[in-house]
Structure 1
Amino acid sequence: MAGLPKQADVVIIGQGGIVGASVAHHLIEQGWSNIVGLDKSAIPTDIGSTSHASDFCYMTSHDKMSCYTTVYSRKFYELLGHYSRVGGMEVARVGDDERMAELERKVGSGKAFGTNVSLIMPAEAKQRFPLLDERIIQGALWDPDAGLVVPRSQRVAGELIERAVAGGKLQTFANTPALSIDVQNGRVCGVETRKGYIATSVVVLSAGIWGPPIAEMAGAMLPLMPFEHPLMFFGPYDEFAGTGKEIGYPLFRDQGNSSYMRDTGDPRTSEGGKLEWGYYEQARPRLVYARDIAEPNEARMSPSMRDLDIEQVMSAYERAIEIMPILADLGWDEKNSFNGLMSITGDGASLLGESPETRGLWFGEAVWVKDGPGMGKVLADWMTTGRAEIDPCGIDIARFYPVQKTPHYVYGRAYEVARKIYDPAVHPREPFASGRDLRRGPFWPREKELGGYFMEAAGWERAHGYAANEHLLETYGERVPERAAEWDARHFWRVSNAEHLKLSDDVGMINLSHFAIFDVSGADAESLLEYLSVAKVGGKTPIGKGVYTHFLDAEAGVHSDLTIIRLDDACYRVVCGGDTGHRDLVWIRRMAEQRGAHIHIEDRTDTLATLGLWGPNARRVLQTLADDPQGLDDDRFPFATAREIRVRGMPVWAFRISYVGEHGWELYMPFSYGLSIWDLLFEAGVTPVGIETYANSRRLEKSLRLQNVDLLTEYNLYEAGLARPKVKPADFHGKAAYLAQRERERQPAYLCTMVMRDNVDAHGVARYPVGQWPIIDPDTGEVPVDEIGRRSYASSIVYGPSIGCNIVLAYLPWQYAQEGRELVLEYFGRHYPIRVEAVGCVALYDPDNARLKSPAPDTTSGAVDPARRRA
């Protein structure tokens, strides 16, 4: 065996699993070599989650990235000859209408994100899966592309590693754990093992359940928890004796019982002659700290396989017998049944990308077998080119603020996620119960007194409406429809729409303390932010001027949207949405390091509270409180400018800007003055308005885009309708690609604003869609797909009370992007007519005229467009 090399271009820790093997394979495809793989066990692993995974691959979820990586992985396994496409079904029991609706929703997600699922009747389900008692179910979802990695993903990992080693690009070292990761000045410099030290500037951590303590070696936090997953075997079952099959029947899910089942094929195959039944504990999932996992010599089977007590699954097992009676007739293989350890994260998504704390430390963690090759490709592309085909915002480790990676927070959130793995229907707006009340602005006590309906984002408590405003429904009730469908009404408060209308008629204030605020200063502050921004923020931009702009990736995909205000010659205030703020901060820091920029970043997020004060009477009210009322006049305080004012002597940094289309300001103040400012405004008659109006209803009435939802790296600013009329002379990141996009005769797709022309379903119930749903061409019955393969779906949808209808944002292929074009929105299997009202960023509602219209957007270079602002 070759000795440990002294240097490597990249070291993969956790080489023996499907993720580590896939990362190495795809890095080599991208031209990497001199890769060293380490594992604390055998290679391929004999103790990691890959060694005992069920190896199921269902194609469809409610997440576009997951659909992309799973479909890629299925094709990858098939090309290797290691995939049995037997199909898979998910059933809804009689009486479980919520699960049946969830299957309809999953069909919608399949159409939106490019998978091939449909609903089938009980008789067809029985035909496909003869072990089923079809009398127990009311319907099923059928996925013809679902299947099993055969004979195991462990074998696939081994073959990928063998190829890479044979090609001379990878050296592997089994039973060689990383003892420490050498970090100097915030950068990876090497890895220490008992066999020696490897100098490297890049480490990929794909150690699965052992990831957190290894990340700690490098000064990084990995918000991941191992948890136990009961897996039982029943047999003997010889239905497929003599066939040579690894699996005979389709995969089967009974998610209403939090369980699944498969056969293991011919008894002569490696694990054949049984029925495998798995269960996810919903009531009390068993989380484990990585430090408490046994060492290989201490475990009966392996450290990631713990003993199972049948009592922990008895209730679910008894229910399983109802739908699959054969389980009562077969014996339980107690010796080989176990609790397998898997990884779960604080939000249920994978953890990829470079560590925010440590440069050169990359993560490929919390990845299911069904996504292994796809996530390996995403990570390898990202490491090589700086981007992936699909925007990785939802899996980027940088999405978490530090407070969201603390042990207590991670445990609580991971516990909730573990309970919901097979939950009948997790609503898109479903709030977490744990990790709450961590970040509360100074206005929170008053919001609590007003009966705030709190939701949470990025750790911040945000009131979506206030019980104290229920009286507004006496005035606006006729314009605020009741939501008779429970799904549409869940986690929505009708008073929010009444507050929306009150703000438009008078004046309202909205707590925006979740904004991420960074003051960037120093000799290179101007040149750095000018390089990062599409818009001109430096040069002759006057002090006090605010500029709405975007950061692009190298291919001119939209990475960030934010506002930059010049505070001084060498100082700028960067204001980002709370949900995107930490990723934006990491991006700024990394670009500064890459360019050798001398800057200082002061995080003001937790010291500056923000109130949005908007409405036709906003100026009048503020003038009654300001020490210099005339200073707020229109000619003395122009739009898109900011300066400090005094309100009863208290300092307030006022920025005249609007994300709700109404006149007014964002008012920034030290936390210590927050309650006093709130009370003054409240006593002056200003109505507190929930974040629902700001982030959803008024946003879509103004056709405003939301980063990571409507704005993604796989789309460009021309497609989003946000390109500048002129390209600034100064260089900026992604400029070459941006110029190339500009030269196109047309873009492949355009973001369009549509309205639902009829929202009444077949039962006469008016529907108010929630979530992301497919757009359908009524002539073909198919989802429009643009020339580079991107599908059309509703990226944002909400009811707009000012215009009295549901509003939809969606990218449409250029052939469809025409005002007046009639299309269809699919929602829970029903089709609703929609019409394109505007192509590009054009507001449907003009508060000055209070009517549906399509005005030309203000695209003044260097200014903030009043119809465009972050959420």
Structure 2
Amino acid sequence: MATQPSQADAVIIGLGGIVGASVAHHLIERGWTNLVGLDASAIPTDVGSTAHASDFCFMTSHDRMACYTTTYSRHFYESMGHYHRVGGVEIARVGDEARLAELQRKVASGKAFGTNVSMIDADQVVEYFPLIERELVLGGMWDPDAGLVVPRSQRVAGALIEHALESGHLRAFADTPVQDIDVQAGRVHGVHTARGYIATPIVILACGIWGPLPAAMAGVALPLMPVEHPLMFFGPFDTFAGTGKEIGYPLMRDQGNSAYMRDTGDPTSTEGGLLEWGYYETTQPRLVHPRDILPRDRARLSPSMRDLEADQIAEPFERAVELTPALGELGWDEKHSFNGLLSVTSDGGSLIGEAPETRGLWCCEAVWVKDGPGMGKILADWITDGRTAMDPCAIDIARFYPVQKTPHHVYGRCLEIARKIYDPPVHPREPFESGRNLRRSPFWSRESELGGYFMEAAGWERAHGYASNETRLAHYLEQVPERPVEWDARHFWRVSNAEQLTMSDDVGMINLSHFAIFDISGHDAEALLERLSVARVGGDTPLGKGVYTHFLDAFGGVHSDLTIVRLAADTYRVICGGDTGHRDLMWITRQAEDFGLTRWHLEDRTDSLATLGLWGPNARRTLQALADEPEGLSDERFPFATAREIRVRGLPVWAFRISYVGEQGWELYVPFSYGLTLWDMLFEAGVPPVGIETYANSRRLEKSLRLQNVDLLTDYNLVEAGLARPRVKAVDFHGKAAHLEQRARDRQPAYLCTLVMEQHLDASLDNQAQARYPVGQSPLLDPESGEVPVDSLGRRSYTTSIAYGPSLGRNIALGYLPTEYAEQGRTLLLEYFGKHYPLSVAAVGYRALYDEENTRPRS
């Protein structure tokens, strides 16, 4: 028996699965030479999901990162000779026009994010997969790059581990569960096993369905749960006997039935001449807590393979037999059919990155076989360079606030995600039903009384509009067009646009209590924020001055956008967007540690300060009527981008003169206990509430304002985003060298442009032209070639944001375009549900289409 070493540069827990093996491989590629891999089972695993996975690889989803990691993984498997690119079809059944539309939308996502899918008709579907009944098929989508990892991902994991062992840079220990993770002062120091202690600064979790258990040893909560996935086998199926193939037909997805199907090739192949049918439960998915997974000696097949109950699949299986009668004609191999366990998370995304609770504890969890090598590369690059090939905001484990990782919240959200793995199509604005009313501002009761249409972000309930305004603002509502197509109108309320119009004519108030607010003070406060910020926030910056700024990564990519207000010589208020707040908090605290700055203090004011935006041409007049010292609110005495405490009928209010909506006014901050008083004062003064839709979407696009993690990404620099400052401050800041190099270029590879739709009528709907109001991200096309423009760095053009602007009466979008396309007046096409709509470039870089003074961007 090999001796377990006492020290390693990194320890990988869960080495035996495809994810752990991929992490080890890519770390060694990046120069790591002293790795230890542990697994509680065999290596490669004989009990984890990798041991029984279907090994499907479909390339396309509505997730940019997933398209990248799946495409990378496909190339990786192919380079190893372990991939059969047999192709795959996804079908829509007769009568399911919504599914066909979803496939059209998925083709658009493929174009936007770089995959090769296309629509096919029913005859082509049957040509690719002849087991299907032609009269039941409406149409389909063809993915020529889809395929199967062969002979199994388990074998690929074994090959990767064997190669890593041969390199001498990895030592592996099977049947060696981790007994504890040694954490001291919030940092990993090592791991305990029955073989002894391994000192290490880095522990990487790649444990799949068991992930929450070792994470808890390190004080980390993973918002992940395993879910059962029925998988059945039918045979014998000897169509491909004698071919030696692992699979003969393309893969087939029947997502309207939440199911998929494939053959297993030659009877002498790995799986042995069968038809495989899998299903994801859509009503009552069976979640399993990791601690309830059976040990190896008690499981009939394997701990990750649970017994299948017939009632789970009765109705969907009946529908499956209608579509593919061969399933009913062949015998069901009950002995080998099972419920496989797979991981789902509380928002459907993978969990990658350094855990916010514990330094040195890295996660690569909730990753499917199709993404395994790609996610392994993402993690290896992140640990090695501090950066990934694509902005990881959607998979960063730091995206969750602690309140979003409680057991009850995680269970409810994972249950919803499990219901939607395949069906139904998920709308880009789809709200969660569970985990609601988690974070409510003090204004919530008043908003509810007014019929607030609530959506949720970062746990906060946010009203996008108010039913009471449908009567109150009826004359404005008449100016807002109807959205005749249900998909465009779903989770949107016309009254939101009417509220914007009244705010622009008069005044309105918007609940902004979702802001993440951090007060940073102490000896090192200025040094810390100067080291992080592109803009000058310390030095001679006056007290009460607010500065819009950015944090960059070391390569000049945009990590954060935020506002910093100097409260005192050594005290600053940092105001971030709600969605980005927790990642920003982690960035601040961990960069401070890396900079060696210790004499500072952070007070999280997010849950104690409520915020109302008061904006419109009559905002000053309205506030002066209530203020104890109205003359103090004049333009001369209270200039733009300054903040100070005022009194409103005796109520202490911290007022920040700033705007995200192109109208003059203030953000008004009060302790939660004063919130209702402030709301009632303004409401009684005739100020109508305006929903967050105006702030976050419609007016933001009219002002060409960028949203972090959507329009602003580490993939792009500040010059490309149109947000570079006129001069670079003398003080050093993180990413400055890269930023200077980027500014020195004659031209950038791409520029963020504002585009407007020149025509938005679809004449093919109900035989009459109907106006479309696109939602979500869509590809931008060259009208001559029909291809997506790609810049010199390989980045593709798509609408990062899009919304209808009622003040301008246009659909407005943001999108990065290669330099040669980034010219005002240039025409492109937007693809939306298979149709093309002309857009023109209205502005290159930052230039507001709706232009008022006293505005600045902030997410």
Match of 2:455 in 1: 455
Spell out, residue by residue over 1:645-695, the C-alpha distance to the aligned partner (whole angstroms, 9 max, x if none).
011111100000000010000000000000000000000010100000000
Match of 2:856 in 1: 868
Superposition map of 1:447-486 within 5 A: 447-486=447-486
CA distance in 1, matches of 2:311, 2:284: 13
CA distance in 2, matches of 1:245, 1:447: 62
CA distance in 1, matches of 2:478, 2:224: 48
Match of 2:783 in 1: 778
Q: Is the 8 A contact 2:89 2:140 kept in 1?
A: yes
Spell out, residue by residue over 1:34-85, the C-alpha distance to the aligned partner (whole angstroms, 9 max, x if none).
1000000000000001110000000000010000000000000000000000
CA distance in 2, matches of 1:281, 1:122: 26
Superposition map of 1:616-635 within 5 A: 616-635=617-636
Q: Is the 8 A contact 1:645 1:651 kept in 2?
A: yes
Q: Is the 8 A contact 2:501 2:806 kept in 1?
A: yes
How far off is 1:473 after superposition?
4.9
SS of corresponding position for 1:846: coil
Superposition map of 1:126-165 within 5 A: 126-165=126-165
Please tell me the residue identity of whatever aligns with 1:807.
Answer: I
How far off is 1:179 after superposition?
0.3
Match of 2:845 in 1: 840
How far off is 1:847 after superposition?
4.3
Equivalent of residue 826 in structure 1, options 831, 843, 846: 831
Match of 1:817 in 2: 822
How far off is 1:869 after superposition?
2.1
How far off is 1:2 after superposition?
2.0
How far off is 1:474 after superposition?
2.5
Identity %: 73
Match of 1:300 in 2: 300
Spell out, residue by residue over 1:72-99, the C-alpha distance to the aligned partner (whole angstroms, 9 max, x if none).
0000000000000000010000000110
How far off is 1:454 after superposition?
0.1
Q: Is the 8 A contact 1:504 1:847 kept in 2?
A: no
Match of 2:522 in 1: 522
CA distance in 1, matches of 2:791, 2:696: 28
Please tell me the residue identity of whatever aligns with 1:795.
Answer: T
CA distance in 1, matches of 2:647, 2:54: 64
Superposition map of 1:733-812 within 5 A: 733-763=734-764, 764-812=769-817
CA distance in 2, matches of 1:525, 1:654: 22
How far off is 1:478 after superposition?
3.7
Superposition map of 1:18-33 within 5 A: 18-33=18-33
Q: Is the 8 A contact 2:614 2:667 kept in 1?
A: yes
How far off is 1:424 after superposition?
2.9
* TM-score computed with the length of structure 2 as normaliser: 0.99
CA distance in 1, matches of 2:518, 2:304: 43
CA distance in 2, matches of 1:174, 1:134: 50
CA distance in 2, matches of 1:479, 1:17: 58
Please tell me the residue identity of whatever aligns with 2:529.
Answer: L
Match of 1:857 in 2: none
Spell out, residue by residue over 1:171-225, the C-alpha distance to the aligned partner (whole angstroms, 9 max, x if none).
0000000000000000000000011000000000010111101101001111100
Superposition map of 1:281-360 within 5 A: 281-360=281-360
CA distance in 1, matches of 2:780, 2:68: 18
SS of corresponding position for 1:171: strand
Match of 2:608 in 1: 607
How far off is 1:101 after superposition?
0.4
> Which runs of structure 1 show a deviation greater than 3 angstroms over 4 or more consecutive aligned residues?
none
Please tell me the residue identity of whatever aligns with 1:827.
Answer: Y
Superposition map of 1:848-867 within 5 A: 866-867=854-855
Instruction: State whether structure 2 residue 405 is matched by structure 1 residue 405.
Output: yes
Spell out, residue by residue over 1:608-643, the C-alpha distance to the aligned partner (whole angstroms, 9 max, x if none).
000000000000000011111000000000000000
Q: Is the 8 A contact 1:34 1:170 kept in 2?
A: yes
Please tell me the residue identity of whatever aligns with 1:727.
Answer: V
Q: Is the 8 A contact 1:353 1:363 kept in 2?
A: yes
Which stretch shows the higher mean deviation, 837-846 or 70-79?
837-846
CA distance in 2, matches of 1:71, 1:285: 29
CA distance in 2, matches of 1:744, 1:577: 31
CA distance in 1, matches of 2:111, 2:613: 39
SS of corresponding position for 2:115: coil
Q: CA RMSD in A?
A: 0.7
Q: Is the 8 A contact 1:73 1:372 kept in 2?
A: yes
* TM-score computed with the length of structure 1 as normaliser: 0.98
How far off is 1:846 after superposition?
2.1
SS of corresponding position for 2:761: coil
Match of 1:862 in 2: none
CA distance in 2, matches of 1:351, 1:619: 46
CA distance in 2, matches of 1:473, 1:657: 26
Q: Which runs of 5+ in 1 are unaligned?
A: 849-865
CA distance in 2, matches of 1:557, 1:270: 46
How far off is 1:762 after superposition?
1.8
Please tell me the residue identity of whatever aligns with 1:820.
Answer: G
Superposition map of 1:508-587 within 5 A: 508-587=508-587
Please tell me the residue identity of whatever aligns with 1:99.
Answer: R
SS of corresponding position for 1:297: coil
Match of 2:682 in 1: 681
Match of 1:90 in 2: 90
CA distance in 1, matches of 2:272, 2:789: 43
Match of 2:429 in 1: 429
Q: Which runs of 5+ in 2 are unaligned?
A: none
Q: Is the 8 A contact 1:512 1:611 kept in 2?
A: yes
How far off is 1:425 after superposition?
1.1
SS of corresponding position for 1:179: strand
CA distance in 2, matches of 1:18, 1:84: 17
Match of 1:237 in 2: 237
Instruction: State whether structure 2 residue 124 is matched by structure 1 residue 124.
Output: yes
Match of 2:386 in 1: 386
CA distance in 1, matches of 2:190, 2:260: 43
Q: Is the 8 A contact 1:404 1:459 kept in 2?
A: yes
CA distance in 1, matches of 2:660, 2:179: 51
Aligned residue pairs: how many?
854
Please tell me the residue identity of whatever aligns with 1:280.
Answer: Y
Please tell me the residue identity of whatever aligns with 1:760.
Answer: L
Superposition map of 1:22-101 within 5 A: 22-101=22-101
CA distance in 2, matches of 1:472, 1:138: 46
SS of corresponding position for 1:435: coil
How far off is 1:479 after superposition?
2.3
Q: Is the 8 A contact 2:477 2:497 kept in 1?
A: no
Q: Is the 8 A contact 1:704 1:867 kept in 2?
A: no
How far off is 1:566 after superposition?
0.3
